Amino acid sequence: MTAVAQQRYGAAQGRSLFGLGLNTWLFLAPALIFFLWYQVYPIVRVIWISFTDFRFLTGEPGQWVGLDNYIEALSDPLMWTSLWRAALFTLMFLPGTIIFPLLLAILVDRVKNQRLATFYRVILLIPAVIPSTLIFVLWKWMYNFQVGPVNLLIETLGGTPQMWLGGTELTLPSIAIMEIWWGLGYHTIFFLAGLAAIPKDLPEAARLDGANEWKIFWYVTLPRLQPIMAILVVLRFGTAMAVIDEYLIFGGFNRDFPTYTWTIFMYDQAFQIGQWRQGFAAAIGMIGAMGMMIVVAGLLWIFRPKG
Amino acid sequence: MTADALPRQRSVAIPPETWLSRHRGAIIRHGIIWLFLLIIVAPLVWVLLMSVKTLPASMRPQIWPDSFDFSHYAYVFEKIDTLPHNMFNSIYVTGGTVLFTTLFAVLAGYALVHLRPRGARVIVLAFLLSLYFPTRVVSIISIYEIQNYMGLINSTTGLILPYITLNLAISVLIMRSVFQLVPHELFEAAKIDGAGPWKSLWMVGLPMVRNGLVVVFIVNFVTAWGEYLLCLTLTNDQEARTMPVVLAMAAGGLGQWAWPRLAAVYVIVVLPGILAFIFAQRLFFKGLMEGMVKG
């Protein structure tokens, strides 16, 4: 064992396994080139143009304007409204996408019959393998005023049909429900992996000590699921704050719609109106991204491993 | 919940025990699970039933069709002329993306773990950071500029380039954690037997990371098949677009986009992925667990 460990240590310290540095870089090159080309460079470029008055359709390179775009964006009430709308959506979405999968995972984890357990998992994961746009299209129809089954169900139960999408107050909650449905099975699988990692004798011991199921859940299970929950909260906060496709499909570019969030504000400025003020749009994007990063850092600090 | 822990004690206390009372906890448990399963499956069943309704029946408020009409599936391919084109675009773009991303992720994952380059930690950190930053949204401004500079606006092939990076970071990280489960000694042994880095990846590495490959494959398929933002922004003509984007633009109603026809297109587009997943689910779940160990 020590020999192996030392060997590993040596390899990690010194040259690579096959001694050829060039070969190693050949393996890494495709991934790195694409990563630099389509992810790192665009971000750096966006940061740069956020300090210029770059308008795409004029065809001229932007002139340095310092913090002007940021000052203009931050003094525009729409910037704050659009950020608040994204935050509001996140608040509607985040609790449901943690609590329901957690509940479901605890139930599925107790299924003893292996075939049934596999069956449940496969059905649960079906929405996760439906591509994003097809999820949105499907729910656009589900919420349709005329033929949508959601209104049909409500009418059958004696309620009044609602306008779910298209800028009404119900739009953000409707999208949140759709997103919770989408992530339900996938997050359940996440929690199931966490539950499987808990040694079975821990809840058994607590049970023998006379703890009831609720106490076992609260004091034994939940603390051990916390790392997974932390990952999910941080990741889903990120996706929820930066939603854009859903808002493009369900909302559009009406500034009064609750779907006009900072992402749509950015897109609107960059590709829709006027001469495509991409310098200004870049500033909007960076303000949104920086706001998100601050909250993510805060969340990571809250969930930091203790002790 | 408590009913679950007690059945044995109860059988002593109350002699006339029925099957129902003995299994009450399990029945409630499975009942709740089935309720969730129903909620998950219901929208898909609805769209499937819609695709076989007759045109007049599709506008009536009922779920179950009176009579089944399967003609919409043939109709959409014969009468909507851009449809085969969009379908081809989807297959072409998705195929290219999945192929390249998976290949790049395998190479990078293997190199990061077993070839041990200097700066591996920096690379992993950069990939990880890109997951927390809203890269996809913010970078769109400059990606348009890049594609425009290269003359790739409105080019279906051109879409593959930015598509490859959509999931590149997560794919590399998944492959990295899967390769970490392969003992380094296997590659050492291959080296002693005279295999080079390429041969040892092909002969020793690949068979060991099969499950992880399935996960990366499915994750990339799902993303590329359903991508909206880039396709919408970088292409202008319906001819150049992929199937889901055309579907999202189509307003349901009359004519070629009547509801059952729309639903038939939907079923054609969504079914291959679901079937592929059900077929590969065993490998997928194993790979998911392996990929999660450190991912």
Per-residue pLDDT tens digits for A122-147: 999 999 889 999 999 999 988 988 88
Q: Where are the alpha helices (DSSP H) in A110-199?
A: 114-125, 132-142, 149-156, 171-196
Best residue of B137, B187, B293 to probe chain A, by most A CBs closer than 10 Å: B137
CA dihedral of residues B67, B65, B68, A147 (deg, nearest 10) = 130
pLDDT at B100 over 90: yes
Q: pLDDT value at position A307?
A: 57
What is the pLDDT at residue B197?
81
Measured CA distances, B216 to A27, B97, B174, B175, B211 (Å):
18, 12, 7, 8, 9
Q: For residue A127, what is the nearest residue in chain B, using CA coordinates?
A: B40
pLDDT of residue A13: 40
Please give the model's pTM, rounded to 2 decimal places. 0.87
From chain B residues 150-169, the ones with a CB under 8 A of any chain A CB are 161-162, 164-165, 168-169
- Would you tell me the crossing angle of helices B168-179 and B83-110 to the nearest 10 degrees? 40
A:B CB pairs within 8 Å: 292
Confidence of residue A7 (pLDDT cuts 50, 70, 90): very low
pLDDT value, residue B19: 77
Does the distance separating the beta carbons of A11 and B184 come in below 8 Å? Answer: yes
List B residues 68-87 in contact with A (Cβ-Cβ < 8 A).
none
What is the Cα–Cα distance from A61 to B149, expressed in whole angstroms? 13
Query: Do B197 and A23 count as a contact with CB atoms less than 8 A apart?
Result: yes
Rg (chain B; Cα; Å): 25
Of B63, B105, B270, the CB nearest to A149: B63
ipTM, 2 dp: 0.86
Mutation target for A interface from B115, B147, B176: give the one with most A CBs within 10 A.
Answer: B115
**Model pLDDT for residues B173-206, shown as the tens digit of each residue:** 999 999 998 888 888 888 888 888 888 888 888 8
Cβ atoms of A192 and A108 within 8 Å: the answer is yes
The token duo for A158 is 């004696």
Of all residues in chain B, what percent carry a pLDDT higher than 70? Answer: 91
pLDDT at B21: 77
Residue-wise over B32-41: b if at least 16 C-beta within 10 A, else e?
ebeebbeebe
Closest approach of chain B CAs to the CA of A284, in angstroms? 9
Contact B165 A38 (CB under 8 A): yes
Q: Is A252 helix (H, G, I), strand (E, B) or coil?
A: coil
Per-residue pLDDT tens over the stretch B131-185 = 889 999 999 999 999 999 999 999 999 999 999 999 999 999 999 999 998 888 8
d(CA B23, CA B4): 8
Q: Confidence class of residue A255 from pLDDT cuts 50, 70 and 90?
A: very high
In this predicted structure, what is the pLDDT of residue A108? 92
B32 CB neighbours in chain A (<8 A) are 103-104, 107
Residues 6+ apart with CB under 8 A from B245: A133, B228, B231, B232
Element (H, E) at B107: helix B83-110
Of A220 and B34, the one with more pLDDT:
B34
pLDDT in tens, B39-96: 999 999 999 998 888 887 777 777 777 778 888 888 888 877 788 888 899 999 999 9
Strand, helix or coil at B72?
Answer: helix
- What integer pLDDT is reported at residue A227 of this predicted model? 86
- Residues in chain A with CB shorter than 8 Å from the CB of B263 are 141
Cα(B217)–Cα(B222) distance, rounded to whole angstroms? 9
